[in-house]
Amino acid sequence: MSNSSTPPNECCIVTAKKASFYDQSHNMVFLQTLFLLLLVTFGHSFPRHHHHHHPSHSLLTDRAALLEFRKTIVSDPFSSLANWDEAVPVCNFTGVECDRSHNRVIRLILYDKGLVGLLSPVLSNLTGLHNLEIVRSHLFGIIPPELSNLRRIHSIIIEGNNLHGSIPDSFAMLSKLNILVIKENNISGSLPPSIFSNCTMLNVVDFSSNSLSGQIPEEIGNCKILWSISLYNNQFTGQLPLSLTNLSLQHLDVEYNYLSGELPAKFVGSWPYLLYLHLSYNNMVSHDSNTNLDPFFTALKNNSNLEELELAGMGLGGRFTDTLPSQLTNIRTLLLQENQIFGSIPRSLANLSRLFILNLTSNLLNGTISSDIFTLPWLEQLFLSHNYFKNPIPEAIGKCLNLGLLDLSHNQFSGRIPDSLGNLVRLNSLFLNNNLLSGTIPPTLGRCSNLYRLDLSHNNLTGSIPLKLAGLREIRIFINVSHNHLEGDLPIELSKLEKVQEIDLSSNYLTGSIFPQISGCIAVSMINFSNNFLQGEIPQSLGDLRNLESFDVSRNQLSGLIPAKLGNPKLCGTIEGISLCSQRRRWSHARLLLIILILVIFVSTLLSIICCVIGCKHLKVMISSQRTEASKNAARTELISNFPRITYKELSDATGGFDNQRLVGSGSYGHVYRGVLADGTPVAVKVLHLQSGNSTKSFNRECQVLKRIRHRNLIRIITACSLPDFKALVLPYM
């Protein structure tokens, strides 16, 4: 055995010695054999993972779980789960992926399937699952706490469903979780701190668009590699937790909550790789009691990778200064609208060379727009509306060749509309309304061939509507030049706007007639030519506009008839017999109320009359019935009280059982028998025929007459016998 440890060089030396060589070779063979035996022995003792998961305990279990989940789906509109069947291998199920080496289902991914049903706890039996992603369906119920059994899960994405309840605390056991997305549901309650207690692998958290409330837990800072947090559109309160500075965030979206406190200047310095910071529509304030933006903007100097900064809708106060760092060369979106920022637009904005969207709407900005801002080569959307900008719009605006949307509305811009706007061939939306602009509409706007929204209303524009502008065929939303001082005829080129939905030329000095070719605007739903000086008749071709909902030509000098084919109750104008629009609308509402009131009164009166008639008839019938019954009862009572009682047996005994030998006469209503009562009184018994329909009435009537009348020539009645099947009068036998 000692030779086995001989160094290699010594082995070489002794190879010449045959005996030694033999001995060593023998030892080497022995060692190799021993090694192989040990390898085989230990090899059998170690578990073999690829045989550990027997199909009977893995794929069969997974199949059973998926088929059980399928039973909870009550609607599958696209038959997405049609092949989830016993006859189909589970690995071929739609949305299912297997790891065949381990015989397990590892992914269940169902996007846009429209499934309706329960998010069943049975999915927790898929214990080999790595990815569970069910997006944009209609699953309901709560998030099953049993999903915490999925200890190998890496990604849970349950988005766009109808789940309610809270986030299970048991998710803390999912230590391998990288991505947790439960967004666009109806989840409520607070965010459990426990789910951040064992989150060493967690990268992405997204609970946006739910109804979560309370504070963001400090424990979220335990997730050291967490780089994306999205809590957008919930009801979180309080301040951002300080523990967020422990993270290296790239994406933070907490918009549309109720978070308070100062803008997180101390936080952003801890996030050098920050790409997206969305804080809009919370209750945050700027520094120094909401008067100073500089500390926050200055703190962004280390965030050179920042692409989106959104601070809108919080009423942030402070002057817009040059403190916005020039290092933000990658920023593409800057949203500061709906705040209280004042001052002028700083020249430093021109350093944001990749800026794509700039929104400063609804602030307190004033002064002149610097021409430097129009040197931004990638700027596509510029929103400056609802501020206090003055002076003319710079001609340099024509340098923003990529500009697609320009909104300068609701300011105090004066002067002419720049001709250079015609250079913006990619412009699709232009809003210059509600300013103090004057002069003519530049014909160069006709070069903006992609324009589909144009609003120049509420200015002091003069001249005519340029023919090229009126012929912009791509205008498909609206063209509005109302409330100006435009004159001239309606341009016939308007008839080329086949896609336009709204045309508003009202409150100008336009003349001429409405041309029949207006029917070429086949998509139009609203036309407003009111408050002009239009003449002539309304063309009958307007009846061809099937989408027309509102047509206003009031306060003009039109004549003739409204086209019968329009059939639109909202039509108005100054045509004889037609009121002005505003008056007509008021009259329409008043008339409608009057008609409703009259109908209510009429129907109520009619119902009252009907009820009275029915009630009277019912009362009359009831009284008549009561009288009849009373008469019967009275007759019966009076017979009993005024005459001595006599029974059927007494009459039968008196007449010998109504023997025919005692029959003294017959009539249409019965027979008369001779008899002798028990006291010896001779009587005549008149027995009525009950088969006659009137026999009962005749009996009662005769009883009443004989009872009430007294006359010497009339025979008085002694008594009577009245039974349901037998009626008889007992008279003296003369």
For residue range 534-546, list pLDDT tens digits in order.
Answer: 999 999 888 889 9
Q: Annotated binding residue at 176?
A: no
pLDDT band at 260 (very low <50, low <70, confident <90, very high): very high
What pLDDT sits at residue 47?
40
The separation between the first and the last C-alpha atoms of the chain, rounded to the nearest angstrom, is 165
Model confidence pLDDT, tens digit, residues 419-451: 999 999 999 999 999 999 999 999 999 999 999
CA proximity to 176, closest of 218, 128, 227? 128
Spatial distance between the Cα atoms of 363 and 336, rounded to a whole number of angstroms: 8
What's the whole-number mean pLDDT along residues 132-153? 97
Q: Are the beta carbons of 245 and 270 closer than 8 angstroms?
A: yes
Residue 658, pLDDT above cutoff 90? no
DSSP β-ladder status, 682-688 and 670-676 = antiparallel
Identify the pLDDT of residue 286: 97
Which residue, 459, 529, 453, is CA-closest to 489? Answer: 529
- The DSSP result for 549-577, as a single string, is -EEEE-SSEEES---TTT--TT-EESSTT
Winning range, highest mean pLDDT, from 39-48, 68-77, 714-723: 68-77
- 278-to-307, 309, 470 alpha-carbon distances in Å: 11, 6, 41
Which element (helix H / strand E) includes 666? strand 663-667
pLDDT at 25: 39
The H or E element that residue 299 is part of is: helix 294-299
Spatial neighbors of 140 by CB under 8 A, at least 6 apart, are: 116, 117, 118, 119, 161, 162, 163, 164
Higher pLDDT: 48 or 138? It is 138
pLDDT tier for residue 693 given thresholds of 50, 70 and 90: low
Q: What is the pLDDT of residue 325?
A: 82
Would you say 388 and 412 are in contact if contact means Cβ atoms under 8 Å apart? Answer: yes
Average pLDDT over residues 174-193: 97
Tell me the pLDDT tens digit for each residue of 12-68: 333 333 333 334 434 443 444 344 333 333 443 334 333 344 544 589 999 999 999
**pLDDT at 22 (0 to 100):** 33
Nearest-10 crossing angle of helices 695-708, 581-642: 70
* Long-range residue pairs from 381-386, CB within 8 A, at least 24 positions apart, any chain: 381/356, 381/357, 381/405, 382/358, 382/406, 382/407, 383/337, 383/358, 383/359, 383/407, 384/360, 384/408, 384/411, 385/361, 385/409, 385/410, 385/411, 385/431, 386/361, 386/362, 386/410, 386/411
CB 554 within 8 A of CB 580: yes
Residue 236 in this model has a pLDDT that exceeds 80: yes
User: What pLDDT is attached to residue 444?
Assistant: 94
Order the strands of the 235-238 sheet from edge to edge.
Answer: 188-190, 211-215, 235-238, 258-259
Tokens of 133: 């992603």
**Global model pTM greater than 0.75:** no
- Mean pLDDT is lowest, of 133-147, 228-242, 584-598, 650-664, for 584-598
The pLDDT mean for the chain works out to 84
Percentage of the chain beyond pLDDT 90 is 61
